[in-house]
Each structure stands twice: as C-alpha cells, then as structure tokens.
C-alpha cells in the first residue's frame, strides 16, 4: 500500500519517471540527428547543395500543406503550388530572390483561382507559407560570405528553443501556455526555450567573433519567440482540419511541416531583419551589429 502511494506521489511530482517518457523518443532523436546532419552538411558544402535541399523540402511541404487542407489528392492547385515554389527557390538560388517573391505573390493568386472552393484561400496561403521561408533561407545562405554562419545561427536558435522548451517543460511543469491549442506546452517550457536561445546567441557571437554578444542574444530572443509562434500556428492549422500530423515521412515527428514549423517563421523573420539592416550583405547584417 505504501509503495503504491509512493509511486503515485513520484508520478505527480516527477512526471512518472522514466516510464513517462514518450514511447517515440528514440525514433524522434534518431530522426532529428539525421535531419540535422543533412542540413548542416548542405549548409557547409555550398549554395548549390543547400538550394537543392531547400527545394526538395519545399516541394514536400507543398504536398503536406495540400494534404492537410484538401486531403491527399493531387489536383491542379497542388501542381501549381509545387511549380511556383520550385521556380521561386531556383530564382533565389541564382541571385534573383525578389523575382522569386514576386512569383510567390502571383502564384498564390493563381492557386486561389484554380483551387476548389471553399478552401481556395487556404490553398493560396500555403504557397506563401512554404515559399517565403524557402526563399529567405536560400537568400541568406548565398547573399554574402557570412551566409553559412547566418543559416547555422538560425538552426542553432530554433533547435535550442525546441530542445530546452521540451526539457524545461518536462522538468519544471507548471501552468499550461495555451491548453486549447497545444495541451503539452507550458509557460516554463516556453520561457526556458527563450532563455537558452539567448545564451546560445551570446555563445555563438563569441565563436563567430562578432564582438556583439548582446546583439545576437537579442536577435536570438526574437527568433526564439517567432519560432514558437510558428509552432503554435502549425498546431492551429492541423487542429482546424482535424489532422494529427502533416504526414508520416519522418519517424517520431510526422512530416516536414511538423519539423520545420519553427524554422519557417524564424527564417522569414531573420530575412526581414537582414533586409532592413542591409540587403546587400544579408548574412553580415543579421550577425553583426555595426
């Protein structure tokens, strides 16, 4: 009897100990490791490989968006969606990102015209959701000599946020942030993710030699918050259409949209910041204060 009561107390305080860990933790960790290795390798090797990776993921995410909003059928709207994203990414890859953005706007309007009602507007929104961050990533990577470092910075902040939001949420627990939308997320996890992202930003400033740890810590805080907003936005989309995962392509994670939700918003925000501060040298403008 005492052992049973002790077990109940331990479960309530510590979340159930090792038995409470998610059953898919191992495949999630392995999938994350493989994806991170591929992303880092493509970023390091060069623009062409990185653009090819972004293009591939962009096409997959275009299909996943269509799957969520309209089901799995391949229709005219999906074909147009994928074609527009593909061409826009290529334009960004050859140094014409503004043409790519223009194509995204035209393509979004075209998808709205050919998509079946009543979900035409959501189909059109998917073009921008996938295309704008894809263009942002390719533009930042190839914009100047600091492009690779800028991409690694974005990845580091989003991944740090994800990891420590999960760890702090499970270790600390406490009040839920938005139970109706994401019942597992807590205030402790959210704030923990932001805090450790700030520390990661300051640490990266030292590693990169930017001499601006306060600047990068501040940028990291902003990107961390934006990344978590992206997480909530994707959760809201799936709940609106009663879909659990964008797809089942990544073991333990679901689809690429489920894995890239934070990168989508963080990359777009980082590109906007770089655009405002100095469009001719986007990587430098993102990472350096002066």
Report d(CA 87, CA 103) in Å as an integer: 8
Q: Give the whole-angstrom CA distance, residue 285 versus residue 287.
A: 6
**What pLDDT is attached to residue 1?**
42
Indicate if the alpha-carbon torsion angle 26, 27, 31, 37 is positive or negative: positive
Instruction: Give the span between the Cα atoms of 142 and 160, in whole angstroms.
Output: 24
In contact, 116 and 78? CB cutoff 8 Å: no
pLDDT digits (tens, 9 = 90+) for 22-33: 666 777 788 889
Q: So what's the pLDDT on residue 122?
A: 95
Q: Is the link from the previous residue into 240 a cis peptide, with omega within 30 of 0?
A: no
Low-confidence ranges of the chain (pLDDT < 50): 1-19
Residue 206 CB: number of other CB atoms within 10 A?
Answer: 12
State residue 210's pLDDT score. 78
Write out the two tokens for 174.
Answer: 């406490």
Strands (E) in 64-204, as ranges, are: 176-178, 182-186
- Half-sphere exposure (CA, 13 Å, Cβ side) for 273? 24
* Residue at token pair 């009040």: 175
Q: What is the pTM of this model?
A: 0.89
**Spatial separation of the C-alpha atoms in residues 271 and 220, rounded to whole Å:** 13
The DSSP code for 254 is B
Place of tokens 């409470």: 20
Q: For residue 81, how many other CB atoms are within 10 A of its CB? A: 29
77 near 115, Cβ under 8 Å?
yes
Residue 239 CA: distances (Å) to CA of 15, 132, 182, 187, 251: 26, 23, 10, 21, 21
Q: List phi, psi (to 5°) of 178.
A: -155, 75
């Amino acid at each position: 009897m005492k052992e049973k009561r002790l077990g109940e107390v331990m479960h309530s305080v510590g979340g159930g100990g090792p038995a409470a860990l998610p059953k898919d933790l191992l495949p999630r960790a392995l999938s994350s490791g493989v994806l991170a290795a591929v992303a880092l390798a493509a970023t390091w090797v060069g623009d062409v490989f990185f653009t090819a990776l972004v293009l591939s993921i962009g096409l997959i995410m275009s299909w996943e968006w269509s799957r969520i909003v309209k089901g799995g059928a391949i229709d005219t709207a999906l074909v147009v969606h994928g074609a527009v994203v593909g061409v826009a990414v290529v334009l960004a890859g050859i140094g014409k990102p503004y043409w790519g953005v223009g194509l995204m706007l035209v393509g979004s309007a075209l998808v709205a015209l050919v998509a079946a009602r009543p979900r035409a507007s959501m189909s059109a929104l998917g073009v921008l959701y996938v295309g704008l961050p894809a263009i942002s990533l390719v533009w930042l990577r190839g914009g100047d000599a600091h492009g690779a470092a800028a991409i690694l910075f974005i990845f580091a902040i989003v991944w740090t946020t994800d990891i420590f939001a999960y760890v702090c949420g499970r270790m600390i627990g406490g009040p839920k942030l938005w139970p109706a939308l994401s019942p597992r997320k807590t205030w402790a996890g959210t704030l923990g993710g932001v805090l450790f992202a700030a520390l990661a930003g300051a640490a990266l400033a030292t590693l990169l030699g930017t001499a601006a740890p306060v600047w990068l810590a501040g940028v990291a805080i902003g990107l961390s918050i934006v990344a978590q907003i992206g997480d909530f936005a994707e959760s809201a989309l799936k709940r609106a259409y009663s879909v659990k995962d964008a797809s089942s392509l990544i073991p333990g994670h679901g689809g690429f949209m489920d894995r890239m939700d934070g990168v989508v918003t963080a990359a777009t925000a980082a590109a906007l910041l770089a655009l405002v501060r100095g469009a001719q040298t986007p990587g430098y403008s993102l990472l350096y204060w002066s």
